[in-house]
Amino acid sequence: MRQSGNILFSGVGGQGILLASELTAYAQLEAGFDVKKSEVHGMAQRGGSVEAHLRYGERVYSPLIDPGTADILVAFEILEAARYLPYLHKDSAVVVNTQKILPPAVALGKMEYPDNILDELTDRGIKVVAIDAFAVAKEVGELRTANVAMVGAMSNFLAASPQVFLDVIDKKVKPAFREVNKQAFEAGRKLVYN
Amino acid sequence: MAFDDNDNKLWLSGNEAIALGAWEAGVQVASGYPGTPSTEIMGNLVRYEGVYGEWAPNEKVGLEVAIGASFAGVRAFATMKHVGVNVAADPLFTASYTGGRGGLVVLTADDPQMHSSQNEQDNRNYAFAAKLPMLEPSDPAEAKAMMRTAFELSERFDCPVLFRTTTRIAHVKGVVEKGERVATKPASVEKMPAKFVMLPGNARMRRAEIEKRMAAARELAETLPENRVEQGSGRRGFICAGTSYNYVKEAFPEAPVLKLGMVWPLPEGMIRDFAATVDELIVVEELDPFLETHIKAMGIDCHGKDLIPSQGELNSFIVRKAVEPDSVGELFAPLDLPMRPPNMCAGCPHRGIFYNLSKMKDVFVSGDIGCYTLGFLPPLSAMDSCVCMGASVTVAHGMSKALGEDGMGKVVAVLGDSTFMHSGMTGLLNAVYNESNATVIILDNRTTAMTGHQNNPASGKNIKGEPAHAVNLEKLCEAIGVPRVRVVNPHEINKTKKVLKEEIASPDPSVVISRAPCVLLPEMVKAKKPVYFTNLENCSGCMACVRLGCPAISWHPLTPEQAEERGYTKKQKGYAEITEVQCNGCGQCAELCKFEAISTREEN
């Protein structure tokens, strides 16, 4: 079992990154690790790129993942996966949601959304798992669970048992949304190896 | 399960931990103004029993409220972001003379890297300048524990104690252990004029006390547990504080470290002893060479900013690379990708104002601090200056005076309701008194939106969301003496344009109140308006809606062949489309569309 690791979450403000990183943090705490997580609030949340850094181990000092040391990147949008390339190393695993959210310059017709940008990661030997988290969320009947489906997919790369995550959802998600979130987690988890 | 409310161990952000620490330290009165990265402290603190907390209209008011509570003998707390201390500096520097009765802690949340700020000033310099002790924690657990130390030191040395955090303390989550609240004292009135009335005669007496207490604080620093040496191996030692400590521990886990929890005054003996045990001493700190300068002034040789960057945040990679450049490997180079800057939300009322201002190319827009500062970004590009809270009004007035007759109809100020309450009002008073011809636009979205919807004196609610008096902005402006006060609904683009043109052309000072609630306010989300969709057949590709820069509207370019395939003329360069799940139903785009291509499903 890995004794320490760095998980980077990236996406666009409003995609539910904070909840996803929070569930993951609780699961790692439950697994007995020291955990630190760093977020940025304020100006950074208005539809711009957002990131959360999560580090776990026996004793974690720095709340920030260094460039070149993210073991897992959980990207909620394709461009926001490619943007964090300098944080990755050749053995990193990237779980990316295949959603495209057009940045302003693209929405205004001034620039183009780059095609096949994930090839830039795979060409460098990085393992990329692309999943349609929205489709999973639609299937379970609640669009707002796409973030938890992402956590499910990502959980394949952690030693913590899926039950730990399900317990965390039981404890930390409002009763009305517990079941759909657990379903989204399980469905997301299955997407990686099925 | 661990880390739930019944457990002693909690998973808290630095700001949540500080709120808990303040409560455990027996704080009874707290006041502050929202500002990233300090905001969540006050929001969390008011949830505890036995604490009165409030949002003040600005940081000077907040600190003075806390000073009053300290004068009444209870522990008091003021919170603000780094630039807020500039606003509160006036009472701060003299509270250093008066001291208080109950402990007084002033929290400054600094923002290296300027994630959400207009500058990255290093507020450790305030501790030196105001002659006050300053504590700086390295993580949430330490932040909680240090709150108690801060109050003890404040009472011991009879002065405010500064408590500095940075973004990587405030918005970092970590494991924190819950404790008990200390016994609190009842408030009382005690007249101590020689201490509290800062006339020159009294102030000179107090000035001498400052020197005595700082000497005593310097002595205590030598044994304060928050300052500690962590033994290690090797001949290279580090001195660090705050989050820089974390980066040193990650980059050089074996090295000896002198960790300072109190960053002012400094423990000279401890530093001298530590320096003597190593061959090479490196001070690692973000921003200014604060520790380095004072250590060098002691005659101790050290490295600092010759190696460590003085701009932006650090991390352990930067520290390792600065100290041992050959030890870091190659990184994957960043890809050249379209940037994704923040943007005003879909349905944001500010957009209607900035759209209109974007069409007035010869008008200088003097802006201010808030979500609306994003009106600077393309495609609206309708902000020409932004300095600090409240400066929109005063800068506009100064420009209009400099320009004289030529400035008529060429200068407007734009600021939000909370910013107007903070420090825009006094500028408006000046503009009227001194006969400005500038127009002031108050973007009244009923909240302090940027920092996460804090109430303010114009919202009609207090910090807990309970009903409170809402200042009437129209009457306030009239009372100040503004001869022309107009109210517009910014979502009505054409009506707003007419009013703006009239007021900007007027030679008298005028105020336009642009009133529409923030779309993200919970009551607005609940009462969600019908969303708009694009009837693609009618889209002529004129781009009128695209120029709003709404994140719910996308432009799809077409080749002549593609245009024909879709039934458009060959000349049509593309079409615009609304992403319905993102639309918040403001209707600004529908008003701009001349081809009946945008409507709600109901209208259709």
Residue B474 within any structural domain of the chain: yes
Query: Quick one: A68 exposed, middle or buried, by C-beta within 10 A (0-12, 13-18, 19+)?
Result: middle
What pLDDT was estimated at residue B581? Answer: 87
CA dist B362 and B268 (Å) reads 59
The alpha-carbon gap from B110 to the nearest alpha carbon of chain A, in Å, equals: 13
What pLDDT was estimated at residue A40? Answer: 77
Lowest mean pLDDT among A102-116, B2-16, B494-508, B560-574: B2-16
Cβ within 8 Å, pair A88-B167:
no
Residues B41-80 have pLDDT tens digits of: 999 999 999 999 999 999 999 999 999 999 999 999 999 9
Least CB-CB distance to A107: which of B40, B172, B554? B554
Amino acid at B51: V
Same domain assignment for residues B238 and B282: yes
Largest CA distance in chain B: 87
Residue B339 within any structural domain of the chain: no
- pLDDT interval class at A42 (50, 70, 90): low
The alpha-carbon gap from B245 to the nearest alpha carbon of chain A, in Å, equals: 8
Cβ within 8 Å, pair B341-A86:
no
Q: What are the φ and ψ backbone dihedral angles of B14, each rounded to 5 degrees?
A: -55, -45
Residue B336 within any structural domain of the chain: no
- pLDDT interval class at A14 (50, 70, 90): confident
Size of interface A-B (CB pairs under 8 A): 172
CA dist B82 and B38 (Å) reads 9
Taking the CA atoms of B296, B302, B305 and B309 in sequence, report the sign of the dihedral they define: negative
Q: Is the pLDDT at B587 greater than 70, yes or no?
A: yes
CATH code of the domain covering residue A76: 3.40.920.10
Which helix (H) or strand (E) segment holds residue B83: the answer is: helix B82-98
Residues B178-213 have pLDDT tens digits of: 999 999 999 999 999 999 999 999 999 999 999 999
Q: Count of CB atoms within 10 A of residue B221's CB?
A: 23
CA dist A192 and A95 (Å) reads 9
CATH code of the domain covering residue B395: 3.40.50.970
The alpha-carbon gap from B553 to the nearest alpha carbon of chain A, in Å, equals: 7
Closest C-alpha to B160, from B234, B107, B228, B202? B107
Residue B323's domain spans which residues?
228-327
Total structural domains within chain B: 4
pTM of the complete model: 0.97
Integer angstrom CA distances of residue A107 from A10, A113, B16, B519, B577: 20, 9, 38, 21, 10
Share of chain B above pLDDT 70, in %: 99
Give strand ranges (E) for B354-438.
Answer: 364-366, 411-416
Same domain assignment for residues B479 and B405: yes
What pLDDT was estimated at residue B603? Answer: 75
Cβ within 8 Å, pair B450-A66:
no
Same domain assignment for residues B130 and B190: yes
Beta B76-81 vs B29-32: how paired, if at all? parallel
What pLDDT was estimated at residue B2? Answer: 56
What pLDDT was estimated at residue A44? Answer: 57
Q: What are the φ and ψ backbone dihedral angles of B488, each rounded to 5 degrees?
A: -130, 160
What pLDDT was estimated at residue B255? Answer: 98
Q: Is the pLDDT at A90 greater than 70, yes or no?
A: yes
Residue B332 within any structural domain of the chain: no
Residues B471-484 have pLDDT tens digits of: 999 999 999 999 99
Find, in chain A, the residue whose alpha carbon is nearest to that of B40.
A41
CA dist B290 and B294 (Å) reads 7
Yes or no: say if B360 and B411 are a contact pair by the CB < 8 Å rule: no
Total structural domains within chain A: 1
CA dist A48 and A54 (Å) reads 20
- Chain B CB within 8 Å of residue A161 CB: no
CATH code of the domain covering residue B320: 3.40.50.920
* Predicted ipTM of the assembly: 0.96
Cβ within 8 Å, pair B174-A35:
yes
Cβ-Cβ contacts under 8 Å, B11 against chain A = 25-26, 29, 35
DSSP B358: H
Same domain assignment for residues B209 and B85: yes
Planar angle of CA B73, B30, B165, nearest 5 degrees: 115
Q: What are the φ and ψ backbone dihedral angles of B106, each rounded to 5 degrees?
A: -115, 115
Same domain assignment for residues B266 and B300: yes
CATH code of the domain covering residue B536: 3.30.70.20
The alpha-carbon gap from A105 to the nearest alpha carbon of chain B, in Å, equals: 7
Same domain assignment for residues B37 and B151: yes
Same domain assignment for residues B517 and B541: no
Same domain assignment for residues B317 and B295: yes
Integer angstrom CA distances of residue B450 from B30, B201, B241: 22, 45, 30
Same domain assignment for residues B284 and B302: yes
What pLDDT was estimated at residue B5? Answer: 67
Residue A30's domain spans which residues?
5-193
Closest C-alpha to A87, from A74, A60, A75, A69? A69
Residue B341 within any structural domain of the chain: no
**Ordered DSSP codes for A1-36:** --S-EEEEEEEETTSSHHHHHHHHHHHHHHTT-EEE
Same domain assignment for residues B532 and B512: no
Cβ within 8 Å, pair A105-B339:
yes
Same domain assignment for residues B127 and B272: no
Same domain assignment for residues B170 and B248: no
Residues B121-154 have pLDDT tens digits of: 999 999 999 999 999 999 999 999 999 999 999 9
Beta A49-57 vs A5-12: how paired, if at all? antiparallel
Q: Is the pLDDT at B604 greater than 90, yes or no?
A: no
Planar angle of CA A47, A51, A56, nearest 5 degrees: 155
Cβ-Cβ contacts under 8 Å, B171 against chain A = 38-41
